Structure 1
Amino acid sequence: MVSCNWATTALLALLSVSSTGVHAAPKPYKADPDQIKEKRQIQTLASDIQVSRVPITLATIGTIGPTFTRVPTLNTNTLPTLGTLSATRIPVTLQTLQTAPSSTLPVYTPPTTPPYGYTPPGTTTTSRTTTTSSRTSSSATPIYTPVTGANTTCYNRLKIDVLQKSDPDQFNMFVLAWQKIQTSPDSDPFSHYQLSGIHGAPFIPWQMGPGSYDYSRGYCTHGSALFTTWHRPYLLALEQALFHAAVAIANQFTPTSVRTQYLNAAGRVRLPYWDWSDPVTQSYLPPITMQQTVTVTRPDGSGNPVTATIANPLFAYNFLSSSSIAPFGAPWNSRFSTRRYPDSSWNDHSNLASSAMQSGFSSRVTNTYNAFLSTTYNLFSNRVESIHDSIHGTVGGGGQMNYIAYSAFDPIFWLHHCNVDRLMAMFQATSPGLFVTPASAVGTFARPVPPNTIDDVNTDLFPFRRADGSWYKSSHLNPVSTIWGMRYGYPEVPCSYQTRTPAELDTFTTNQINKLYGGGRTLPGTSREWNVRLLIDQAEIPGGYDIYVYGGTRPQDPYSDPYGKGYIGSLSSMSMGSVDQYKQSRIRFVDISLNSYLKEYGYGEADPYKITDYIRRDLTYTIIANGKPCYFQDLYTAKYAVYSRDVYDSGKDDVLPYYTSDPYYHTNVTEGYPGGIKSLEEILYPVKVDGTREVPWPEVNSTRIQG
């Protein structure tokens, strides 16, 4: 069987699907007849034919002068008609499901302690359990708790390493609170089990009534323009649970002076973040997340403070019983704890995850910096999500973090996503005029979407409700000052700036971005930024897969050591939870900076002719799908392109660099190899699994005008 034959077979079936509602490329584009001929020939292959594939290694094919293909200025008259950008809404109270997968999840019983049990005016709260399914169903909207975060003053979320050292009392209460949440009954909607389950498995409603649900996916909005905004109230829900748990624990301490000390610390409890682009820690996993135990001060039976060593809630989450994991698919229905880089005995090897993360630091910090140069919010969100995706794969190593349906059970998921939210807040502070623009919708658990549905700032962010009982929308999360109303900030968007002007915040945050991530700036002047763009229709391969880029010295066997020496970056597509499950058709792409790689090998200041010749000869690409080798020549939509772009840097700490040219795609680097683009159409109008092409990237001809 061909390594990717299962993908090709499925692709050929998809090619016969009607493309109604999908916009074709403008008139100037003509399909490549050789490509069509090749696909027809593949279709005639029997599934049992043995085909040998050789991993792609770019060989020297002589010296060819670089081709500088400038992206032409778009004529909007030739673009496909998008039509009215209206959204089709799916009510969440349509009808009781006729059939639903069985589940052993305990019946939902609302806790009686604060902050639970909030009932909005006029809401019926009676509930019953169905007799046809073990899932809980309500005769009306169930009792629910609005997601409002902490109810004290605004405090900054801190980097986990800084929190542990600078505020040991808050860190102590944070750890105790998370332990409490992790040991809360599965039926508690604010337990670690149910909060993590919102993201994916066990695919059950969270504080929602009867509705038309999609039991193949969770509530999360991966691959959507809402990726960053949806996760904000999601993180806030956990922070709210941590805060109230910390206060409850602090109230148990005696005497009064000790209780006051820890109540004050509990009031400061906020979810910390892991900055995987920090130049100090350089992408290593926070040490506390790799320790199996942690020492805390907790109240004994009489309330007296005692020192104790407990299982570290930042290291792993241990499911409470066999019924907790029974609804999961194999092999997760036999895994009683979360792991990173697990061996065959399911032992954790977080040290391997930490080493793998560090190997990609150089390009990761540049990619993070470049995200802030995005000229649209949607582009920023996509760039951050692409970095985020690769971290899931790098940290998981076959553990829960590799799988969308199970990743949120690993505690490091929350520290990881808190950093994504931090980057979002920083971008909002420095680009206050940019926010979510309408884009193709992505279906979720509570929102199955028909073709041509649009996501925008008014799309409901299920299942999170605000204090007034309405659903969160992205519009509620802009401008950035809204986070202070949720009682949190970040060191780069601090609570102390609540009384400052947006311009003052912009200046401060920009200064912090340059300081943190702009270490390689050329001061002042224009420099050239080099990138590899990897892209694929995520629906072409089922399960999870990665496309890796290597340069210079590379691992001898990238299939067993994908993050070894020479690793530059990767495009990662996490599995939904099963190796045979396909994702919704959508072009996903990632831009990987080559600047640090070129500098390391002596080409940082070389002229473009030498750089393109070197890249063409040196870069190699490897695809691993569900743990097995895969190849560009077996795929239809997977492409890579090399492009450069001029960037001007004023050298001022309070001003970000900005683009002064459109991208130049160097087709001579890629045209001779499988997967490499041969023409601009392949990158401007990337092909999808059904043979149609998407509209161009919205940022192709966007150049920031610096006033």
Structure 2
Amino acid sequence: MWLTRLSTVFLVASGVGSSPLQPRGNGQPHMRDITIVTGVQKGKNESGSVPVRREIHDLKASYPDQWNVYILGLRAFQLADQTDPKSFYQIAGIHGRPYVAWEGAEGIPEKRAGYCPHTNTMFFGWHRAYLALYEQELYKHVQNVAWQFPSHLVSRYTSAAEDFRVPYWDWALGEAGGPFPDFFTSPIIQVIGTSGKEETVSNPLHHFEFHPNVPGDFEGRYSGYNTTLRWPTSDKPSAQSQDSKLVDDFNGQITPLHDAIGRGFGIAKNMNEFVLTHVEVPHGWVHFTIGGGKPRNTYDGHMWPLDYSAFEPLFMLHHCNVDRIFALWQAANPDKYVEPKSVGYSGTFTIPDKTIVDADTPLSPFWNTPNTFWTTNGVRDTTVLGYAYPETKRWTYESPEKYKEGVNAAVANLYSASARARLTGNAVTGGDLKHINADNSFMDWSINMQASPVLLPGTLTVRFSLIGEFSSDPVAEVGAWHVLIPENHEMERRKVEQDSIPELKLKGTVSLTASLLDDIAAGKLESLNQNQVLPYLKQKLTWKVYAANGTVIPHGSLQGLTIDVVSIKVSIPDDPNLPLNYSNEPISHSDVMFGRGGGTKA
């Protein structure tokens, strides 16, 4: 029996960071042999230090032996028996399909959904616990392969493996991130094998091979694919990945992704807003960019639909970076955390629709004890799970104030809006726009979106463009909003009577400033001032809304979508280690969209 008002009942948690669960099965849950999520505890010491999750480029370049055992260990993990609950296959299946209970964490009867929470505030804590499970099981395989080397190499590789933690891929660095990693797009990779000699092996960062694709676990074309795919060429079992399309799409998104994260750090007033509006949006972009889907590709790759995304090898690298972004937010805002909020119609396998969730809601199916699940409060401190990030090594700072200062400096240097570098002469392309920044401030422009979770398709994409002077000019896409909802949630939403729809909205934001600066540099626009930008946007800003099947939703059918152009004044400190200073409230310019599909009323 599951509970419908979780936030009330779970205040009586019996263990730190966990919440009580009613006994199931034989009535003696303490007797069950289940997987307890601990993270990797090896490497923690009394000073509070823990091993660090490294950016994947740094891992490969600076820690080649650890990189080597990572690739070998990940390959072994992927080859594990798929009937084992701790296999790569079954851990990936927790996120979406197949819709089955994992390790006794039973779901709501007849509920067809995975455990993963999206478009609700459990997104952060749930994926942190998920990564901890993945990390602890991958760690075992990394240790195992390290011990398989010849005797004269065992010490070298076991030493490298001892402090191993899952790497992250920082997709939000913008131009500073360099080209898309070639070790993500090659189906084979060079390693030092356990024989001690160079070998060429199937690249576990490129694809996962189902062994087998279990009948009944997946539906449609996914039941026929024998390997994970990106931008598939067809719906046949012989389909191939088109990694070049992935690279092209990512290259077109690097600045919007960077600016989305930077703006979130500067403007979000609380963690709920940061999670739902400023992180889930670029997070969805990355899902689409890796998997590919309509309307840019006829067939969706595994990373795009949530039901299949965790089988894609880059999923965990992507979400490790999302977790790191949350860790940075936590460090910069130590007094702010997840607040109670309804999940609306984004319930999961174990959480009913319209449930109020909070930081004490169980993060099923991640057991903290044989009787209790982890909670978002329980995973608040990453060191409890045995890891930190390069920027969150708080034990190296002499005080909490110095730690916060250091994290803010890291955020300022890594994620300040791209306009900062362009307006101060520090951009890769030089400071040709410095004259716009005479008073060390600029007007930041963005598009804010809200969508009804019932009146529009659950999974949708809104793409924004600036059209050229003539119809023959290329259309410049300035950003997109990808709303990711598991497929069966959409069918359940359709059943809801419109007069019972709560005032719950999906929210997103897309930055316009970088694109406007491009047009200023091209001589199409004079400045970022309101008197220049507003008529420009009225003339040139366009958008299309796509349903999950790739069809365009006519503007006349967009009653559930609200689009608004907003501006906010941003001051640039002289010290590059200080974050940008956003004014208190953005200014709405509803007249830009008035009378157009989705536009706000003037």
TM over 0.5: yes
Determine which of 43, 58, 76 is the counterpart of 1:152: 43
- In 2, are the aligned partners of 1:235 and 1:418 still within 8 Å (CA)? yes
Report the Cα distance in structure 2 between the residues aligned to 1:622 and 1:472, rounded to whole angstroms: 41
Report the Cα distance in structure 2 between the residues aligned to 1:505 and 1:468, rounded to whole angstroms: 36
Q: Which position in structure 2 is the counterpart of 1:466?
A: 368
**Structure 1 residues 178-193: aligned runs within 5 Å:** 178-193=74-89
Match of 2:543, SS state, is strand
Counterpart code for 1:205: A
Mark the CA change 1:234 to 1:556 in structure 2 (over 3 Å): closer, same or farther.
farther
- In 2, are the aligned partners of 1:274 and 1:286 still within 8 Å (CA)? no
**Structure 1 residues 174-253: aligned runs within 5 Å:** 174-210=70-106, 212-213=108-109, 215-253=111-149
Determine which of 295, 301, 304 is the counterpart of 1:399: 301
Deviation track 1:133-176 (CA, whole Å, cap 9, x = no partner) reads: xxxxxxxxx52233322422422211112211111110111111
Counterpart code for 2:336: L
- In 1, are the aligned partners of 2:29 and 2:371 still within 8 Å (CA)? no
Q: CA deviation at 1:307?
A: 2.2
Find out whether 1:319 has 2:213 as its counterpart: no
Mark the CA change 1:214 to 1:434 in structure 2 (over 3 Å): closer, same or farther.
farther
- In 2, are the aligned partners of 1:284 and 1:357 still within 8 Å (CA)? no
CA RMSD of aligned residues (A): 2.9
Q: CA deviation at 1:546?
A: 0.5
Q: CA deviation at 1:348?
A: 0.4
Q: CA deviation at 1:260?
A: 1.0
Deviation track 1:296-350 (CA, whole Å, cap 9, x = no partner) reads: 12224xxxx232211111000110114x253211121111111111112521012
Q: Which position in structure 1 is the counterpart of 2:297?
A: none
Report the Cα distance in structure 2 between the residues aligned to 1:644 and 1:164, rounded to whole angstroms: 41
Deviation track 1:400-437 (CA, whole Å, cap 9, x = no partner) reads: 11101100000111111111001001111111111111
Report the Cα distance in structure 2 between the residues aligned to 1:416 and 1:402, rounded to whole angstroms: 13
Counterpart code for 1:317: F
Determine which of 387, 398, 401 is the counterpart of 1:503: 401
Find out whether 1:601 has 2:516 as its counterpart: no
Determine which of 30, 34, 43 is the counterpart of 1:123: 30
- In 2, are the aligned partners of 1:360 and 1:567 still within 8 Å (CA)? no
Q: CA deviation at 1:648?
A: 3.0
Mark the CA change 1:610 to 1:456 in structure 2 (over 3 Å): closer, same or farther.
same
- In 2, are the aligned partners of 1:542 and 1:581 still within 8 Å (CA)? no
Find out whether 1:648 has 2:542 as its counterpart: no
Find out whether 1:622 has 2:544 as its counterpart: yes
- In 2, are the aligned partners of 1:542 and 1:582 still within 8 Å (CA)? no
Identity among equivalent pairs (%): 25
Mark the CA change 1:514 to 1:450 in structure 2 (over 3 Å): closer, same or farther.
closer
Report the Cα distance in structure 2 between the residues aligned to 1:555 and 1:213, rounded to whole angstroms: 57
Report the Cα distance in structure 1 between the residues aligned to 2:148 and 2:69, rounded to whole angstroms: 12
**Structure 1 residues 320-469: aligned runs within 5 Å:** 320-322=211-213, 324-344=214-234, 345-373=238-266, 374-382=268-276, 383-397=278-292, 398-441=300-343, 444-449=347-352, 451=354, 453-466=355-368
Q: CA deviation at 1:95?
A: 6.7
Find out whether 1:485 has 2:353 as its counterpart: no
Counterpart code for 1:416: H
Counterpart code for 2:477: Y
- In 1, are the aligned partners of 2:555 and 2:596 still within 8 Å (CA)? no
Mark the CA change 1:330 to 1:287 in structure 2 (over 3 Å): closer, same or farther.
same
Counterpart code for 1:377: M
Gaps (5+ residues) in structure 1?
Answer: 1-83, 97-120, 126-141, 559-563, 680-707
Structure 1, 143-152 or 574-583: larger mean CA deviation = 574-583
Report the Cα distance in structure 2 between the residues aligned to 1:512 and 1:474, rounded to whole angstroms: 25
**Structure 1 residues 561-576: aligned runs within 5 Å:** 566-576=476-486
Find out whether 1:266 has 2:126 as its counterpart: no
Counterpart code for 2:281: S
Q: CA deviation at 1:655?
A: 2.7
Deviation track 1:172-215 (CA, whole Å, cap 9, x = no partner) reads: 11111111111111121221101111100001111125553564
Counterpart code for 2:543: Y
- In 1, are the aligned partners of 2:78 and 2:89 still within 8 Å (CA)? yes
TM-score, normalising length from structure 1? Answer: 0.72
Report the Cα distance in structure 2 between the residues aligned to 1:438 and 1:429, rounded to whole angstroms: 21
Q: Which position in structure 2 is the counterpart of 1:589?
A: 507
Match of 2:71, SS state, is helix
Q: Return the structure number with greater helix share.
A: 2
Deviation track 1:357-385 (CA, whole Å, cap 9, x = no partner) reads: 11122222111111112111111111101
Q: Which position in structure 2 is the counterpart of 1:3?
A: none
Mark the CA change 1:92 to 1:475 in structure 2 (over 3 Å): closer, same or farther.
closer
Deviation track 1:77-104 (CA, whole Å, cap 9, x = no partner) reads: xxxxxxx9954679864777xxxxxxxx
Q: Which position in structure 2 is the counterpart of 1:685?
A: none
Match of 1:402, SS state, is coil
Find out whether 1:167 has 2:60 as its counterpart: no
Match of 1:372, SS state, is helix
Report the Cα distance in structure 1 between the residues aligned to 2:475 and 2:52, rounded to whole angstroms: 37
Mark the CA change 1:556 to 1:544 in structure 2 (over 3 Å): closer, same or farther.
farther
- In 2, are the aligned partners of 1:146 and 1:469 still within 8 Å (CA)? no
Counterpart code for 1:448: I
Deviation track 1:545-594 (CA, whole Å, cap 9, x = no partner) reads: 20100115599899xxxxx9611111112352469635597421211111
Counterpart code for 1:526: S
- In 2, are the aligned partners of 1:341 and 1:396 still within 8 Å (CA)? yes
Report the Cα distance in structure 1 between the residues aligned to 2:456 and 2:121, rounded to whole angstroms: 22
Mark the CA change 1:94 to 1:622 in structure 2 (over 3 Å): closer, same or farther.
farther
Counterpart code for 2:31: T
Counterpart code for 2:560: T
Q: Which position in structure 2 is the counterpart of 1:8?
A: none
Determine which of 298, 321, 329 is the counterpart of 2:193: 298
Gaps (5+ residues) in structure 2?
Answer: 11-18, 45-49, 293-299, 425-438, 495-500
Mark the CA change 1:371 to 1:192 in structure 2 (over 3 Å): closer, same or farther.
same
Q: How many aligned residue pairs are there? A: 542
Determine which of 440, 446, 461 is the counterpart of 1:546: 461
- In 1, are the aligned partners of 2:7 and 2:360 still within 8 Å (CA)? no
Match of 1:309, SS state, is strand
Report the Cα distance in structure 2 between the residues aligned to 1:483 and 1:593, rounded to whole angstroms: 30
Counterpart code for 2:90: Q
Q: CA deviation at 1:474?
A: 1.1
Find out whether 1:633 has 2:532 as its counterpart: no
- In 2, are the aligned partners of 1:408 and 1:414 still within 8 Å (CA)? yes
Mark the CA change 1:596 to 1:277 in structure 2 (over 3 Å): closer, same or farther.
same
TM-score, normalising length from structure 2? Answer: 0.83
Q: CA deviation at 1:254?
A: 2.5
- Greater C-alpha radius of gyration: 1
- In 2, are the aligned partners of 1:623 and 1:630 still within 8 Å (CA)? yes
Mark the CA change 1:412 to 1:587 in structure 2 (over 3 Å): closer, same or farther.
same
Report the Cα distance in structure 2 between the residues aligned to 1:456 and 1:359, rounded to whole angstroms: 37
- In 1, are the aligned partners of 2:174 and 2:255 still within 8 Å (CA)? no
